[in-house]
Amino acid sequence: MSGDDRDHYHQRDLFFDDDLSYFSSIFSHRPSLDGHGLDPLLAPIMSSTNYGSFEQAFDLSSLPLPPLDVFGSCEGEKSVSDLVIDTTTGVANNVNGGSGVVGTPITPNSSVSWSSNEATGDNDSARCRKDELKPDEEVLQQSTKGDQHGGDGSKKLSKPRKKGEKRLREPRFAFMTVSEVDHLEDGYRWRKYGQKAVKDSPYPRSYYRCTTQKCLVKKRVERSFQDPKTVITTYEGQHTHNSPATIRGSSHMLAVPPTGSSSFLRYPLMYQQTSLNNSGQQRPMNPSFYLQNQSTSLQQLQLADYGLLQDIVPTFINNSLPK
């Protein structure tokens, strides 16, 4: 198989949208403007240019740039941008509500597709497409599982949640990785807390949570129905700690400092540069920030070694950025 061939077909996979309800969630919204089946999603994905949300995803609080509103495809909709890293196509696409064009082809065979979805829950709760995506706007202060409720043993699940509170949805990043194993090693310890059947898909979706106490990072793993070789991993939240370095035999493991590290923040910047939309006046960055030169077979390895996007990104950046 030539890398080229894979490229094309992988891209397709990446944008199947309709088939994957999953994507609907990730890509917070589907363009209802167009009446095409595939085009709608494809277009936005392949052509997107907003990076504002990106920064938020990582750590807006410390990021210099304000969230863009460009991607607000829907009126009054919260800003949402999605990025997809395709480990196979080698193209990084930023998906958002609609505009712009960004594609960063790197190496023919290797690339990471990831998508980020962040929501800036502010005022309106208007939703672009209420299809399957959930409202990410509201924030739930859930400090803990809190049992402070009149909990009685009558029901198994007494809901401590209060009406007013809504669940906090953190930025999510989706990775598409070609792998035979569902659960990829990423350097962190995860505890599986659920598994659900995916609609219209024979493959289940697994829910994991970082085992580190204070860390609230979650991730979902599911195999693409369209392309069983592809595993879609969605991360939600940021680790508040270093990776436990549980990677055995993996010298590639990078010691990424916890959130807030300079290197960490560099990632978003990168994107800003790519997109002229913003105040992209930074330094020109190297387009090939993702996988540098790995063989196709190593793709998943890459992911496994680097694991989280957060980890991956900084690394690449560091490598490509002119220190």
Which residues contribute to the site for DNA (CB under 7 A)?
A: 21-22, 25, 127, 130-132, 134-135, 145, 147, 155-159, 161, 166-167, 183, 189-199, 205-209, 211, 218, 220
239 binds, among Zn ion, DNA, none (CB under 5 to 8 A by kind): Zn ion
- When the beta carbons of 62 and 158 are compared against DNA, the nearer one is 158
CB 108 within 8 A of CB 77: no
CA triple 279-284-289, angle to 5 deg: 110
191 binds, among DNA, Zn ion, none (CB under 5 to 8 A by kind): DNA
Phi, psi of 62 (to 5 degrees): -100, -5
The site for Zn ion (CB under 5 A) is made up of 210, 212, 215, 217, 239
Q: How far is the CB of 222 from DNA (least distance, A)?
A: 8
- When the beta carbons of 212 and 300 are compared against Zn ion, the nearer one is 212
CB 193 within 8 A of CB 182: no
Q: How far is the CB of 232 from DNA (least distance, A)?
A: 11
- When the beta carbons of 119 and 217 are compared against Zn ion, the nearer one is 217
Closest CA relative to residue 210, chosen from 263, 166, 170 = 170
Q: How far is the CB of 25 from DNA (least distance, A)?
A: 5
Q: How far is the CB of 134 from DNA (least distance, A)?
A: 6
12 binds, among Zn ion, DNA, none (CB under 5 to 8 A by kind): none
- When the beta carbons of 152 and 284 are compared against DNA, the nearer one is 152
Distance between CA atoms of residues 241 and 54, nearest Å: 21
Q: How far is the CB of 130 from DNA (least distance, A)?
A: 2
Distance between CA atoms of residues 89 and 176, nearest Å: 10
Distance between CA atoms of residues 140 and 90, nearest Å: 36
207 binds, among DNA, Zn ion, none (CB under 5 to 8 A by kind): DNA
- When the beta carbons of 144 and 262 are compared against DNA, the nearer one is 144
215 binds, among Zn ion, DNA, none (CB under 5 to 8 A by kind): Zn ion
- When the beta carbons of 206 and 278 are compared against DNA, the nearer one is 206
- C-alpha pair distances (Å), 147 with each of 139, 151, 160, 220: 19, 7, 6, 25
SS3 190: strand
Nearest-Å Rg of the Cα atoms of the chain is 19
274 binds, among DNA, Zn ion, none (CB under 5 to 8 A by kind): none
- When the beta carbons of 59 and 137 are compared against Zn ion, the nearer one is 59
210 binds, among Zn ion, DNA, none (CB under 5 to 8 A by kind): Zn ion
DSSP codes, 234-279: EEES--SS------SS-TT---PPPTT-HHHHHHHHHHHHH-SSS-
Phi, psi of 83 (to 5 degrees): -125, 135
Q: How far is the CB of 121 from DNA (least distance, A)?
A: 12
